[in-house]
Amino acid sequence: MAILADALAAVTAAAGTDASAWDRAGRIPEPLVRELSRGGLLCAQVPAEYGGLGFSSRDNGELTAHTGSFCGSLRSLQTSQGMAAWTVQRLGRPTQREEFLPKLAGGTLAGVAMSEPGAGSDLSGMETAIRADGDAIVVDGAKVWVTGAAYADLLVVFGTYERGAGVAVVPAGTPGVTISPIGDPFGCRAAGHADVRLEHVRLPASHLLAASGAPPAMLVTAALTYGRLSVAWGCAGLVRACRTAAVRHAAGRVQFGRSLSGHQLVARHLAELVTAEHLATLACAHASTRWDEGAPDQAVAAVLAKQVAARQAAESAARAAQVLASAGARDDHVVARAYRDAKLMEIIEGSTEICQLLLAEHALAVLP
């Protein structure tokens, strides 16, 4: 618990006052990002044997929610870095874990490249190709909206390989790699979103993760389960930020001779914000418990957590904006940022509609 407390304090010190400035600039100072990475705070579940903090999913979730309550962009980098590390840990051979995990827990920055111009939710339509060429692999393709790519030293690239899918760890400086930052994104503006072009990128065969060749669903689900749960915890933190801002404003502002919180229609919003925070946190805690237990339904639990928390975040941001009215209607206000960031959370790592389809499929699969 002392290590978690130290991690929470480090994030507070890093992001407690500067998130609005980062959002306006569209950039988090890179030295700060690397400092957090060197402390293992961007992928805290990396085991201690590889230089990481060795957090459980539950403790990492608490850290992610705490970050999300301050800055959606920094939380996005935690999600990206954590996904990259988990993908290597889950799909790599021991020598690959030994090579890459200490780097990811020690200052190296990473992005995970999945989506393509013609393959978003339908990742079976991926056209990025990874092929063997003697003692090397060659990667060709185009990826879009890669979180953290503008900061990245490494890109974990998903593509087709043989009769299945493959995952290659691509150093961002390799010849043939072009990273094009996306200007003025709607939300999480400092998360380093970028499009990535890979043109005849040649790498040692050791950069192809060992599980490559397996069905796409297996490889993608391994990464997305981590990503969905990370986004869900971040959304729980976002709801927390909205609840705090709305309660402080409603308690301090006087209208018609009494505090805003004394008006029943406003109090209803505050009650719903408290409810939303508990719903999101409980769904996330359940999913992290299933992860830590190694339960067979952990992937479904992560989908459920992401669906519940993202919805609560979007609704809570709207409620907080309603309570604060013009007081929160500045682009750099925490509620304005939350309003923009929360909408993206209903889209990334599986849209609301995709999550609903997956949950419906699960309901049918377990039908008595």
Whether pLDDT at 13 is above 80: yes
List Cβ neighbours of 63 (8 Å cut-off, separation of 6 or more).
4, 7, 8, 11, 41, 44, 55, 78
What is the mean predicted confidence (pLDDT) over 108-137?
Answer: 92
Compute the mean pLDDT over every residue in the chain, rounded to the nearest whole number: 95
Q: pLDDT for 200-257, tens place per residue? A: 999 999 999 999 999 998 999 999 999 999 999 999 999 999 999 999 999 998 889 8
Please tell me the least confidently modeled range out of 38-47, 134-143, 330-339: 330-339
Whether pLDDT at 87 is above 80: yes
Whether pLDDT at 327 is above 70: yes
pTM for the model stands at 0.96
More confident: 278 or 259: 278
Indicate the pairing of strand 110-113 with strand 154-161: parallel
Name, of 149-158, 216-225, 344-353, the range with top average pLDDT.
149-158
The whole-number pLDDT of residue 1 equals 53
Whether pLDDT at 138 is above 80: yes
Q: pLDDT for 277-315, tens place per residue? A: 999 999 999 999 999 999 999 999 999 999 999 999 999
The whole-number pLDDT of residue 202 equals 98
| pLDDT range class, residue 260, cuts 50, 70, 90 | confident
Q: pLDDT for 171-200, tens place per residue? A: 999 999 999 999 889 999 999 999 999 999
The whole-number pLDDT of residue 280 equals 98
Count how many residues are written for the chain: 368
Whether pLDDT at 2 is above 70: no
